[in-house]
Amino acid sequence: MSDATAQKIDPAQLGPAFPRTHHVLWLEFGDRKDFDDPRKEWRRLFSELLGTFALVLAAAGGGLLHAKGQIGLAAAVVAPGLTVTAVILFMGAVSGAHLNPAVSLAFALRGDFPWRRVPGYIIIQLVGATLACLFLRLVFGNIGHLGATLPGPGYKPWQALLMEIVLTTLLVSVILGTASAAQNVGAIAALAVGGYVALAGLWAAPVSGVSMNPARSFGPALVSGDFTSYWVYIVGPIAGALIAVGFAMVLRGRGGDVISRAAGSGVLDDGALAAKAELSEEIDQGRVVPPGVADTDPQRSGP
């Protein structure tokens, strides 16, 4: 087998050939059939509830404690980024770790996520955000707007709106570029998305609060009873998501097909994907053995 052919091997397709590799990949990426099984929608919704609760707890809680002067701005904006990283790693394979109505909308517009599941995801994300802020109110009382996202001192709503549009465009672009179809899974997605959330907060938080997420802004607004400038954090993220979907079409073509499921691997054309599938089938049937495997894997090489 030539080196050119060997480079087309898709590790995600090697499960039957390498049981140990398949087990590791399953732990990290889960089973796509579980993600699509309508009988397990309750599990995915609970996953979104838990994940959004954790994200908003860190984001709004960090903002609240920063307003009290107990933590610095850097800690307040890095905390939600690290939380996103952790959530994607531990539950991305269950629900896709959307955690954000704008993200669910973007996946649906790309054709990678069924529209019938979008309302349930958005509602449960709003519920998770609300529960997180109810917890914060129970612990700290109704102070500091409960970490609400607001235009910063000296900035007008239109400035915060433009910032939210740009930031969300880049966030959703990162997500669409590293996700597997409609799932944020794996270390690459976790580091990319969590890192971007933290990075955006480090430089742009003084302008808009860096929400990029209607649910993150909804929880504090509802529980504190202060919807000042909330429209900014609906219009901005949704507009940003729409722009990002347009960018994704330019960069990777239309979604909703098998190629979109390999976005993180850089597979952009049908020919390359077909070659990978054919090679995987040959490996499964034992007609092809990757170089070095016959000598190193006893399950393939025999006695």
| Separation CA 163–CA 236 (nearest Å) | 8
Residue positions counted in the chain: 303
User: Which residues lie across from 88 on neighbouring strands?
Assistant: none
Residue type, 192: A
Residue type, 32: R
* Structure tokens, 290: 């990757």
Pinpoint the alpha helices (H) of the chain: 3-6, 19-29, 32-36, 41-67, 73-95, 101-109, 118-140, 157-178, 186-208, 214-224, 232-252, 270-284, 293-296, 298-301
Residue type, 214: P
Residue with the bigger pLDDT between 148 and 286: it is 148
Mean pLDDT of the chain: 82
Answer whether CATH 1.20.1080.10 is correct for domain 31-264.
yes
pLDDT digits (tens, 9 = 90+) for 95-109: 999 999 999 999 999
Q: Which of 139-148, 155-164, 223-232, 249-258 has the lowest mean pLDDT?
A: 249-258
In this predicted structure, the answer to whether residue 10 has a pLDDT above a threshold of 50 is no
- Domain coordinates of the chain in residue numbers? 3-27+269-301, 31-264
In this predicted structure, the answer to whether residue 225 has a pLDDT above a threshold of 90 is yes
- Which pLDDT score is estimated for 273? 52
pLDDT digits (tens, 9 = 90+) for 101-135: 999 999 999 998 999 999 999 999 999 999 999 99
Residue type, 134: L
Instruction: Give phi and psi for 285, each to the nearest 5.
Output: -85, 0
Query: How many CB atoms are located within 10 Å of the residue 143 CB?
Result: 13
